[in-house]
Chain A
C-alpha cells in the first residue's frame, strides 16, 4: 500500500498507532519517527555500544507492534514507547549482568562524546556551557538518577510523561529528580567541579 507522505505528516503518533492496527505500513512511519530518538535514549541511559543499542531497539519495535492493542490512548504514544524502551533496556542490562562483564571503557567514551554532542537539546544554560564536566558527573550517577535527569533535561519530558514512562507516581518522580540534582551536585563537588 502506498501512503501519501503529506497525509502521514498530518497524522499524530496516536492516530498512526490506531491506523497501524489496520495496516502495518503506518507502523513503518511510526518507527521512522522514533528510531533516532529511541536509539539516542538507549545510549544515554544504558551506556550500551552501537550493536547492543540496535538490538534493543529492534526488540522495542517488535514488542511495541505486537502489543499495539495494549496502547492506552489516554497516554501519549511517545510515553508508551519510551516505557517499552526503558523496560527493554532494563531486561538487556539484567541479561548482560548474567554474562561476564566486558571492559566497556571505550563504550563509555563513545557514550560521553555522544552525550556532549546531544547537550544542545538541554535548556538549562549552564548545562550547555559545561558539557564535558556534565558527562563526567552523569556517568558517575546511579542509573535511576541518571535516567530521570536524561528524561527531564535531555529528552525534554514533563513530569506526567516521566511518570508514565517509569510507571511511578508523579510525586515520586519529583522526589527522584530533586534527589538526582542533589546527587549530581555532590558528585560534581567530589570532582571539584563548579556548577
Chain B
C-alpha cells in the first residue's frame, strides 16, 4: 500500500498538476502593498484636512460669545475626519499585517508606524495646500458636509458681539473698506489702529472680522480671510442668484 507521499506524487503526475505561477503571488503581494500605500495616502489626506481645520479654527472665539472654551472645542472638533483618520489607520495596519512578513511586527508597532507615516505625509500635504483642496471639493460636492464640519457657522453673524462675516465690496483706503455681511447689510469698516496688521485686502475678498460695532461703523481689531469653502459658501447661500457676485463686481 502506498504511503501518503507516494499517493500525492502519483496524483500530481496523473493530473499533471503544476505549481501556480510566481507572478500570481507577486501580484497578490503587490496589490497588498499598493492597498497599504493607498490607505496611508488617504489617511494622510484626512490628517491634512484635520490640521487645516484646526489651524483655521478660532480658538479664542469663546471670548466673544457666551460659551466656554471647552464647549466650543467639543462642538468644533472635526469628528467626521477624526473618525475617518482612525479608520484609515486601522485599515492600513490590517493591510500591512497581511503583507509578506507583516506578521513579524507587533500590532501596536504597525499601528504607530501607520500613524507616524500619515503624520509625516499629512504635514507635507497640509503645507502643499491639499487639506484645503480636499475640504473645498467635499464642501462643494456633498450637501451635508458643511453641516457636519462647520456646525457653528451662525456664531459669526453677531455684529453686536463684535463678530462679522462678509465680503469686501469696496476699498476706501488702506485703513477702511465696505463689507457686506451675510444678512446683506453693508458695513463701513475701519482699522482700529495703525499698528494692526491687515492681510492684503481687495474687493471680493471674504473675511471674518472681530471688533466693535459703533453707531455708524465697525472698528476692526482682527481680520482673517475665509479659508474654508463652507464659510465662503455661507455667503453664497445668503446671496442667491448671484447677488453677491453682482455686489462683488460693482464699480467703485
> Taking beta carbons and an 8 Å cutoff, which residues of A are in contact with B?
20-21, 24, 27-28, 31-32, 35, 39, 54, 57-58, 61-62, 65-70, 72, 163, 167-172
Contacts and interface: CB of A to CB of B under 8 A. Distances in A.
A35 B4 contact: yes
Given A69-B24, A170-B104, 8 more contacts: A24-B12, A27-B9, A31-B4, A35-B5, A61-B5, A62-B8, A62-B17, A66-B17
Nearest 6 pairs of A and B residues by beta carbon: A31-B5, A167-B103, A68-B19, A69-B22, A70-B25, A28-B9
B20 interface: yes
B9 A69 contact: no
Interface of B: 3-9, 11-13, 17, 19-22, 24-25, 100-101, 103-106
Contacts of B104: 163, 169-170
Contacts of B13: 24
A72 B101 CA distance: 10
A54 B1 CA distance: 14
A69 B5 contact: no
A27 B12 contact: yes
B105 A169 contact: yes
The interface centre, meaning the residue of B6, B11, B19, B20 with most chain A CB atoms within 10 A of its CB, is B19
| Majority-rule SS of B interface residues | helix
B10 to A, nearest CB: 10
B32 to A, nearest CB: 13
Contacts of A168: 103
A58 B8 contact: yes
9 contacts: A24-B12, A24-B13, A27-B12, A28-B5, A28-B6, A67-B25, A69-B22, A70-B22, A171-B106
A31 B8 contact: yes
A167 B100 CA distance: 10
Contacts of A54: 4
A62 B19 CA distance: 10
A167 B9 CA distance: 28
B114 to A, nearest CB: 16
Contacts of A21: 19
Given A24-B13, A31-B9, A58-B4, A69 B103 contact: no
